Structure 1
Amino acid sequence: MLASVSRKTISMLLVLALVVTVLFIPTSTVQAATVGVTDNGSTIVVNTGAGLEYTINKSNGDMISCKLNGVQLCGSSKASHIGSGLGSATVTWSKSPSGSTVLITAATSTLTHYYSSRGGENIIYMATYVTAEPSVGELRYIFRGNGSVLTSVPANSNIRNNVGAVESSDVFGYSNGYTTSKYYGNDQAKNLTIRGVTGSGVGVFMAYGNREKSSGGPFFRDIQFQSGTDTEVYNYMNSGHAQTESWRMGLHGPYALVFTNGSTPSVPDFSWMSGLGLTGWVSTRGNIVLNGLFGMDSSYTYTVGFANSNAQYWTTASSSGAALKYGLIPGSYTMTVYKGELAVYTESVTVNGGATTTLNSRTINSDPSAASAIWRIGNWDGTPNDLLNGQTITIRHPSDSRNPSWGPVSYAIGSATNKFPAIQFRGQNSPTTITFNLNSTQAAASHTLRIGITTAYNGGRPSVTINGNSMSNPSASSQPNSRSFTIGTYRGNNNTFSWTIPASYLNNGTNTITISPISGSSDLGPWLSAGWVYDSLDLLN
């Protein structure tokens, strides 16, 4: 009995203690941490109270200092900024009523850049609203970091200790024949999450955020890092680097710089920024559901993309082709189904605000692999990844000493696919020769030759001969007006050239095809010469 009473008494005392604790706990511990802001007239200094302090220049919106626990992470030679710097801007700031959030706005007539932070977090949240493309021709945020502190950097874009440029002023070589550039080692847009650089006890990471206003689609790559005197971390929202689409205007982002002790952080939650009143923020959105796909090849990943002039989105389909995408800006979109990176189905769909559009299962109807072929080189998947040096295009220059020789190649049908060159250069590895055998029945009929490419440079297109007979020369394909396969991308506009070969050109037995690039433009060098990246080649039954 006494033991029971004692237990009841103790329980009552514990409850009373909890009530007293709740009633008398200091108010500051249950509210969000405050963020400190000091306006010095020419600069705004933000202290998040968690170790991060950064300084914004009030004349132009540049970030001129950034310290984590007292360690200066910004470089000393140039500031960090949107574009190449705004030159001049109207810079204002405000705090939330609770004092827990600061919003800094740097505005020009066509661009508004936002910085925001919350007390207790080592994060600089950002977004950029544009009504016109910056005069520099690309929209990017550049964090220029302290190169002596941020020393652990991606190898492919680390240009330190090079012996000079091997192409233009942005691809560099080394005494061992290796190459590096800011164009190498970059992720496809669909894989952009968070990535950064580190040093002793510090790390700076870019959370790339929403890509809906960027351009180029799910497989587009652009600059993420460059490590020279400064350690540079980029968020490229659009550019002219092998760009296949028009630029999209509106609110780019949100995105963020996240500062850590060196560990890779999770992607921050951006949803709270809906309450900041950012120009261009779209709250009302819709969803789309695709129930499935018929005609899939189980060897490939399928991506379902949605794009119009205002926004772009994508999602990965399940093994049955089912796909779900949340949070699209209302409008009409072109839905594209990609096998690998090759479009194999398109359709116009409509997304309504506050609603879900549901599509019944669709049948893939544009896969070139469905055609019966006498022979085929490579897979129709919109990439050169199964061809010679195809997997190194995104990580180093074609001239890099680590690459096996590009040729010229003589390729016998039936040989390993990775012996056929991923790129055809007019000035470096032409012609490519293909030999194959036909039986008497095959040689007595006409056949279609197809050459699929993922991009081309300098108007390059194939000039083909079959057993010494010249086929008609095609027109150039529509491609980005820039370098491509020498700056880390094979992604352009997929295109297929085709010819009908008459039976009179064919032999019962051995046959020979030669392929060389032609162009109406002169070349800048053996690597910057007219050419293209192969996807697949085949001779149809």
Structure 2
Amino acid sequence: MSQATDQEALGRRGFVLGTAAAAAGAALAGPLAGTAHAAAFGWSDDGTHYVVDTGANLVFKVRKSNGDLASLVYRGTEYQGYGGMNSHIESGLGSSTVTIRQSGSTILVSVTYGTLRHYYAARSGENNIYLWTNKADTSVSATRFILRVKAGLFLNDAPDSYTYAPTTIEASDVFRKSDGQTRSKHFSKLRVIDYDYVGWSANGVGLWVVRSNHEKA
């Protein structure tokens, strides 16, 4: 997350949620911004979640039972929770082993689900979450991370959005526009290999998901 005045383009690769940075693999963060004062950097355990304060006005929570991203608060506003749901891999990993450790100016949350390893990382003074997933084999079939941002905080005004195509034509997730073009909630106007980031800004705040290496992301 970060302060922004317009829908600014993010010129770096990565998968991040917050405001600044790029990650190896995938990270979850908003727009790129300068390093902030990290007076409150650290983590705590509220019994249900590991609570990470980046020291840059971003506080996020990871659920200890399953590795869900359960809260994403920037400057006092909760952005996580579309439909009351958490953000996570696919429909959620289920029971997992979740650990946390701090090494200097970095905090790493590790989620173990069978042969899958999923990670959230924070750096002191950055309002980003770095996010990546590693599969050792095919025992876990898919690894999409689904970010659920609360409705109404950012405008869904992209003409490529599937919500602009009102007629369902296949499997309840492929839609047709009046001019015959089709849209799907699974695809955008770009091939997956071609996009570097997606995101929005409104009311002085931007939120971006930034991809890194396309061969491994």
* TM-score of the pair, normalised by structure 2: 0.72
Other-structure match for 1:198: 201
Q: Distance in 1 between matches of 2:72 and 2:147?
A: 10
Letter in 1 for 2:121: S
SS at match of 2:163: coil
Q: Distance in 2 between matches of 1:70 and 1:32?
A: 16
What does 1:200-279 correspond to in 2, within 5 Å? Answer: 200-213=203-216, 237=217
1:147 aligns with 2:151: yes
CA contact (8 A) 1:103 1:115 kept: yes
- Distance change (3 Å), C-alpha of 1:156 and 1:115: same
Other-structure match for 1:132: 137
| Match for residue 75 of structure 1 among 81, 92, 100 | 81
- Distance change (3 Å), C-alpha of 1:86 and 1:201: same
State the 1:91 CA deviation.
0.5
Gap runs ≥5 in structure 2: 1-36
State the 1:188 CA deviation.
4.9
- Distance change (3 Å), C-alpha of 1:102 and 1:180: same
State the 1:167 CA deviation.
1.6
- Distance change (3 Å), C-alpha of 1:178 and 1:163: same
SS at match of 1:93: strand
- Distance change (3 Å), C-alpha of 1:49 and 1:108: same
Other-structure match for 2:184: 181
Other-structure match for 1:50: 56
CA contact (8 A) 1:115 1:124 kept: yes
CA contact (8 A) 2:133 2:143 kept: no
- Distance change (3 Å), C-alpha of 1:110 and 1:169: same
Q: Distance in 1 between matches of 2:142 and 2:157?
A: 24
Q: Distance in 2 between matches of 1:91 and 1:155?
A: 40
Letter in 2 for 1:145: V
Q: What is the RMSD of the two structures over their aligned residues, measured on CA atoms? A: 2.4
- Distance change (3 Å), C-alpha of 1:179 and 1:188: closer
Q: Distance in 2 between matches of 1:134 and 1:198?
A: 38
* Greater Rg by CA: 1
Q: Distance in 2 between matches of 1:33 and 1:212?
A: 37
SS at match of 1:159: helix
CA contact (8 A) 1:153 1:198 kept: no
- Distance change (3 Å), C-alpha of 1:187 and 1:35: farther
CA-to-partner distance for each residue in 1:305-325, whole Å, 9 max, x for gaps?
A: xxxxxxxxxxxxxxxxxxxxx
Q: Distance in 1 between matches of 2:98 and 2:41?
A: 19
Structure with the greater relative contact order (CA < 8 A, sep ≥ 6): 1 or 2?
Answer: 2
CA contact (8 A) 2:196 2:210 kept: yes
Runs of 4 or more off by more than 4 Å in structure 1? 31-34, 174-179
What does 1:488-527 correspond to in 2, within 5 Å? Answer: none
CA-to-partner distance for each residue in 1:395-443, whole Å, 9 max, x for gaps?
A: xxxxxxxxxxxxxxxxxxxxxxxxxxxxxxxxxxxxxxxxxxxxxxxxx
Count of residues in correspondence between the two structures: 179
Q: Distance in 1 between matches of 2:183 and 2:203?
A: 24
CA contact (8 A) 1:35 1:101 kept: no
Letter in 2 for 1:83: E
State the 1:34 CA deviation.
5.6
Q: Distance in 1 between matches of 2:40 and 2:123?
A: 7
Letter in 1 for 2:125: G
Gap runs ≥5 in structure 1: 1-30, 214-236, 238-541
CA-to-partner distance for each residue in 1:274-303, whole Å, 9 max, x for gaps?
A: xxxxxxxxxxxxxxxxxxxxxxxxxxxxxx
Higher helix share: 1
Q: Distance in 2 between matches of 1:170 and 1:115?
A: 30
- Distance change (3 Å), C-alpha of 1:121 and 1:181: same
State the 1:208 CA deviation.
0.7
CA contact (8 A) 1:55 1:66 kept: yes
CA-to-partner distance for each residue in 1:38-86, whole Å, 9 max, x for gaps?
A: 2112111111121111111110000011111112211242211123311
State the 1:171 CA deviation.
1.3
- Distance change (3 Å), C-alpha of 1:193 and 1:167: same
CA contact (8 A) 2:162 2:175 kept: no
Q: Percent identity?
A: 37
Q: Distance in 2 between matches of 1:206 and 1:173?
A: 27
Other-structure match for 1:87: 94
CA contact (8 A) 1:94 1:104 kept: yes
SS at match of 2:160: helix
What does 1:51-66 correspond to in 2, within 5 Å? Answer: 51-66=57-72
Q: Distance in 2 between matches of 1:154 and 1:133?
A: 35
CA-to-partner distance for each residue in 1:306-347, whole Å, 9 max, x for gaps?
A: xxxxxxxxxxxxxxxxxxxxxxxxxxxxxxxxxxxxxxxxxx
Q: Distance in 2 between matches of 1:151 and 1:167?
A: 26
* TM-score of the pair, normalised by structure 1: 0.31
